Structures are given as C-alpha cells and as structure tokens.
Amino acid sequence: MQDYGEGFSCGARTARGGTLPLAMKTFATVVLTALLLASPAVSHAANGQKPNVIFILTDDQGWNDAHFAGHPYVKTPNLDRFASQSTWFKQFYVAATVCSPSRCAFMTSHYPARHLVHGHFSTHDQNAARSMPDWLDPKTPTVTSLLKQAGYATGHFGKWHLGGGDGAPTPDSYGIDDVRTTVCRDPAWTEPAKTFWAKSTTLIVDEAIRFIKANKDRPFYANVWTLLPHAPLNPTPEQLAVYDGLAPRANDPAFGPWMKKYLGAAKDLKSQMRIFCASLTDLDTQVGRLLRALDELGLADNTIVFYSSDNGAEDYNISNAANAGVGNAGPLRARKRSMYEGGIRTFGLLRWPGHVAADRVDDTSVIGSVDWLPTVCKVTGVTVPSDLRPDGEDVSDIWLGKSRPRAKPLHWEWLFRVWGDDYMPPMLAIRDGPWKLFVNHNGTGAQLYDITKDIGEEHNVAAEHLDVVKELTAKALAWQKSLPPSKARETAAATGKPVDTPRQPAKAKGKSQGKSTIDRPAIFKAWDTNKDGKLSLEEYLHKFPDEAEGRRRFPTFDTNKDGVLSEEEFVTMGGKLKP
C-alpha cells in the first residue's frame, strides 16, 4: 500500500538526498538491480497476471515543474511521493516540440513526420497550409488498438488532439473502448475554459477512476491526458490561497541560467508564478487521488504507471500564456516549440512495484516516446506486427535496471517558428550517444553539443569535432530522406526558413493596414446557423477543430461580455482588426 496523504511535507527519498551511507546505498542498489534482472519473464507481473498500464500525460509541464525535481516554489507532495516509488529517467525525450505530433509518437511508435503531423492539429485550412492531414489515420496501429486486440480494456480520458472538425474519427476508432475526451470532434465537456480549466483534472481523474473500477478484474490500459498546465490557467480562489504570500525571485539559485534570464523579463512574476503554482498543485492533488484509488482497489502492485508531459514549458510571449508561461525548465535551454533540451526533454517517471526500482534516478539512459509502444507491448506480452516497423525500440531491460546505450538514435524535425532568438536552432536534430546535432536540411549550419557535459547547450563544439558532425549529419539527412514527401518540408529546405515566417508584402494602394485578408463577414454568415445575427459559443466551436484554442479566442472577441459574438466583434476579432 502506497501513502498519498494530503499534506505538503515531502517523504524521505534516499536516492534524492537521503541519509543512508553511500556504501550502503550502493550495495542496496546493486542487489535490487540484480534481483530485478534475475526475475522471470518481464511480460508478466505478480501471480502470472498481465500488468495494467496507466499513462499520465500532462500538457506543457516543464522538466523541473515539481518539488522533487527542483522547483523552488511549487508544492507537489503526491508527485514527490510518486517519484520516491519510481525510477526517474532524466534523459527521457518526447518526439516533438508541441502537442499533436508528440501524442502521435506515443500512440504509434513513429516519428510524427512519418504521418505528416508536423505541428498541432488546427482548422482544416491551417492543416492544409502546413501540409498536414486533418487527423491521424485511424488505420494506423496504435498502442491502444494492439492491447485491445490482446484482450485489454482500453480507455482514454482528457485531452485528445489527434484530429477534429468535420469528418474526423472519434477516439474509439483507435482501439479505445471507453472515451471521455476534449479537443476532439465530439467533446465530452463543453463548458467554457474560463470555468472548466480549474476543475478539468478533477473531472478527467473521475472518469479514469470509474474506468479502473469497472475493469478491476481484467487487464486494462488507460491514457489519462490532462489539460493542465496548458494555458489558459484560471485557478479558483481556494487553489490560489495555497500560495498567499509567495514571493518568487527570477534569480533564485534553483533556476538555471536560461531560466533566470527568461524570468527576469516576466511582466509580473509574482502573479504569474502564483497562478501557475496553484494550477500545478491542483493537478498534483488529482494525480494523488488517482494513485490512491489504485491502492484502495488493491491494484497498485500490478499496475505500471508512467508520468510525462507532451513537451516542455510554455512561453509567456504567447498571447494567452502569461501565467502558463513561467514553467520551470531548470538548467535546460529554451521552451515549448524549440528542439533545444527545454522543449523536448520531459519527465520520465515510471512505477511498477517489484519490477522497476523505487527511489532511483537514471540520468544516463536515453529513452524516447517512440519507445513507449514496443516496450509496453513487450511487458504485456503483446506481439508487435512485423509491418508496424517502430521507430523506437523495446527498452524494457532499461526499465528493469540494465544500463546500455540506445540501439537507435533519436530524431526530430521542426519546420515552424520558435519564440526567442536563442531558442531557434536549425530544423533537424539527432541525439546519438552523448552527442546532439542540429543541422539544416541541406547539411549546413551544424551545431553540436555534448549533452552529458553541457545540459544547457551553451557550448557549440562543432568546430572541434568535425568527424562527429560529419557522421551525425549523414544520419540526420538519411533519416530525412526516409520520410514521406511534404510540401512544407520542401519549402523550408528551399528557403532555409520556417514555413510560417511572416511575409512582408508591399503595401497595396488604397488598402488600409490592419484589414484581414480572410473574408470574415462571409465566415460569420456561414457559422451563424440559426441566422440570429450572433454566434453562440457552440456555433463558433462547430467549425473550430482546435477546441481549446477556440475556447480561448471566443471571450477575447466578446468585448461586451454578453456571451455571444456580434458580427462586428467577430469580423474585427474584438477590435483587433479594422472593420
């Protein structure tokens, strides 16, 4: 039985600064690792039962956004306790710098570019402009579909964001039995973000616990994907009260040099940090409730629980993310949307009692989200189809304590802008051994970092290691050639610039600045389905597949706060454009 109390005190964690003598800790670790590696087949848990699997994926949580991870202000007693029962893989990487492509990789074991998922799914027009489909092809084998075929009950609760809008398949098309999702075609929740966000994790965890109780007597797999701490953050007064008197400092020694510089330019760090921490602490509370449910049902010992985030911390330069944009990247460079470490290195917390060592920090193994499907299939005894051809690899031996290098390098591609001049590298990246290389699609502009010695990516050593640059450039370009054709990639490669670089056309005579080139009056008339001259939130969202973004925009256009949009409010985007 695990302990998940409500208090904010942190339990003892020997591997994270406890009081055991070094020799005793070393001996204990060696013995435990030997026992784990000598255990019977990994594919079965205690008593011959197949293990349950719960995958908790948060949204925009930074690498140091928890007390146990080094955040100087946030209170996360449940995550701290969970970390003390888990192995923390500190070199865990997601496959993309933003939401949808990152989730695609977890589900499929493929780099998202193989499915042309270059960025987040948005409107059909915006997807087409970025050479993207409107959703992940439901014929694609996924971790959920493979486990369902093997007899697992499967569920998905919370954010989806693998496609939406007219004609989009619903999540049950991907091998999921029980679905309660948002940011999808038929969302389970339609409450405005202003009031929904603060209670969203509670509702998501409610659904996950319901599913677990209903399937406690059979093996199950559940994705529990939260909205927090993604913007917009609107914590309740009760949630905020935990941080009354908080006085954060941008130069706090707990922050790395990149973070200090970044927080030093925040508009109102005290207010921003208070709202962010309050939101994250509530997320922590709800995660603790989920974990306690496993204990109460007697399922904890036979349940694998993995905790991560879809990408790094958000940037406060994004219009709606002032409060969500103060997440802690620790010593890492950059944030969400960047392929520097702060954008792609996220939590890799894994608990599996009796199999995965508790209170252990693995800061040497390099693991990626593309490894999730083949590894879960291995430990659950499910065969990976030969034609699936995962980009990732089975790392179940690393889960159990083996130390070894990866068999395959990790790859990334990002074709779009990144906020912050210091955060925009060349558009291809590869991690191979200790090295991380950035390079343009034509092989120029190489940046090389020894991540084992330079976690903050401050020292480009390409000039000193030309042989490494040559070898990794060849691998990165060969990987690029293995991807399906993409007009967006061709444009980026030809221009050497992100495909969404703003154009600066010459001013047309007789046309005033500030006018939208989109026919917004025509769009208003098409969306006004009941022809009352106003757009309700439901009408606005009906043609808006990125539900979270639509819910964010709607109140910013509603200047008179009457809950509907007049034609003028819609056409001028709440006064931002000239009519």
Amino acid identity, residue 403? S
What CATH number corresponds to the domain at position 454?
Answer: 3.30.1120.10
pLDDT tens sequence across 380-399 = 999 999 999 999 999 999 99
327 and 469 in a common domain: no
User: Average pLDDT for residues 367-389, to the nearest whole number?
Assistant: 98
Same domain, 548 and 465: no
Domain annotation covers residue 503 = no
- pLDDT band at residue 161, thresholds of 50, 70 and 90? very high
Q: Which residues pair with 224 in a beta bridge?
A: 56, 157
Query: How far is Cα of residue 169 from the mean position of the Cα atoms in its chain?
Result: 22
Domain boundary among 408, 442, 463: 408
**In sequence order, what DSSP letters do the residues of 391-412 get, joined into one string?**
SS---HHHHTT-----SS-EEE
Give strand pairing partners of 307: 56, 349
What average pLDDT is seen over the chain? 90
| Angle of CA points 439, 440, 445, to nearest 5° | 65
**Do both 346 and 455 map to the same domain?**
no
DSSP H helical ranges for 159-221: 193-214
Query: What span, in angstroms and rounded, lies between the C-alpha atoms of 575 and 519?
Result: 16
Please give the residue that has the higher pLDDT: either 265 or 568: 265
Q: Give the CATH number of the domain where residue 98 resides.
A: 3.40.720.10
Average pLDDT for 509-520: 54
Specify if 392 maps to a domain. yes
Own/partner contacts of 178-186, CB < 8 Å, gap of 24 or more, are: 178/153, 178/154, 178/211, 178/214, 179/155, 180/156, 180/204, 180/207, 181/156, 181/157, 182/158, 182/227, 182/547, 182/548, 183/159, 183/546, 183/547, 183/548, 184/160, 184/547, 185/545
Q: Is 276 helix (H, G, I), strand (E, B) or coil?
A: helix
Q: Where residue 553 falls among pLDDT bands split at 50, 70, 90?
A: confident
Residues 461 and 558 in one domain: no
What's the CA gap between 35 and 265, in Å, rounded?
50
Residues 468 and 534 in one domain: no
Question: Which neighbouring-strand residues pair with 64?
Answer: none
The pLDDT-based confidence of 211 (bands split at 50, 70, 90) is very high
pLDDT in tens, 226-248: 999 999 999 999 999 999 999 99
Identify whether residues 390 and 319 lie together within a single domain.
Answer: yes
Are both 392 and 438 inside the same structural domain?
Answer: no
Domain that residue 539 falls in: 520-571
- 201 Cβ partners below 8 Å, 6+ apart? 226, 227, 228, 282, 283, 286, 287
> Is position 62 within any domain?
yes
125: amino acid identity, one letter: D
Whether residue 482 has pLDDT greater than 60: yes
Average pLDDT over residues 123-149: 97
Q: Is residue 432 part of a domain?
A: yes
Q: Residue 472: pLDDT above 80?
A: yes
Are 403 and 431 found together in one domain? no
In a domain, 317, yes or no: yes
Whether 346 and 472 map to the same domain: the answer is: no
Q: Using CA atoms, how far apart are residues 282 and 285, in angstroms rounded to an integer? A: 5
* Residues 92 and 231 reside in one and the same domain: yes
Interval 278-332: pLDDT, tens: 999 999 999 999 999 999 999 999 999 999 999 999 999 988 899 999 999 999 9
**pTM, 2 dp:** 0.84
The pLDDT of 60-71, averaged and rounded, is: 98
Name the amino acid, one letter, at 377.
C
**Chain segment 67-107, per-residue pLDDT in tens:** 999 999 999 999 999 999 999 999 999 999 999 999 999 99
pLDDT recorded at residue 48: 72
DSSP 8-state class, residue 322: T
Percentage of the chain exceeding pLDDT 70: 88
Q: What pLDDT does residue 548 have? A: 64
Task: Output phi, psi for 436, to 5 deg.
Answer: -130, 125
pLDDT higher than threshold 80 for residue 550: no
pLDDT (mean) for 483-504:
90
* Distance from C-alpha of 298 to C-alpha of 292, rounded to nearest angstrom: 10
Q: Which of 358, 375, 408 is the last residue of a domain?
A: 408
Burial class (CB in 10 A: 0-12, 13-18, 19+), 385: exposed
Cα angle 223, 312, 342 (rounded to 5 degrees) comes to 145
The residue-averaged pLDDT of 121-125 equals 94
Same domain, 361 and 471: no
Q: How many domains does the chain have?
A: 3
C-beta separation of 547 from 187 below 8 A = yes
Examine the domain organization and report whether 266 and 293 are in the same domain. yes
> Does any domain span residue 164?
yes
Give the Cβ contact number of residue 521 at 10 Å.
Answer: 14
- pLDDT at 23 (0 to 100): 43
Place of tokens 């941008």: 250
Least confident span in 288-292, 487-491, 564-568: 564-568
User: pLDDT value at position 546?
Assistant: 62
Residue 45: per-residue pLDDT: 43
250-267: pLDDT as tens digits:
999 999 999 999 999 999
CATH number at residue 567: 1.10.238.10
- 507 is a domain residue: no
pLDDT computed for residue 484 by the predictor: 98
Asked if the structure places residue 513 within a domain, the reply is no
Is the confidence at residue 578, as pLDDT, over 90? no
For residue 576, give every residue at least 6 positions away whose Cβ sits within 8 Å of its Cβ, in sequence order, or none: none
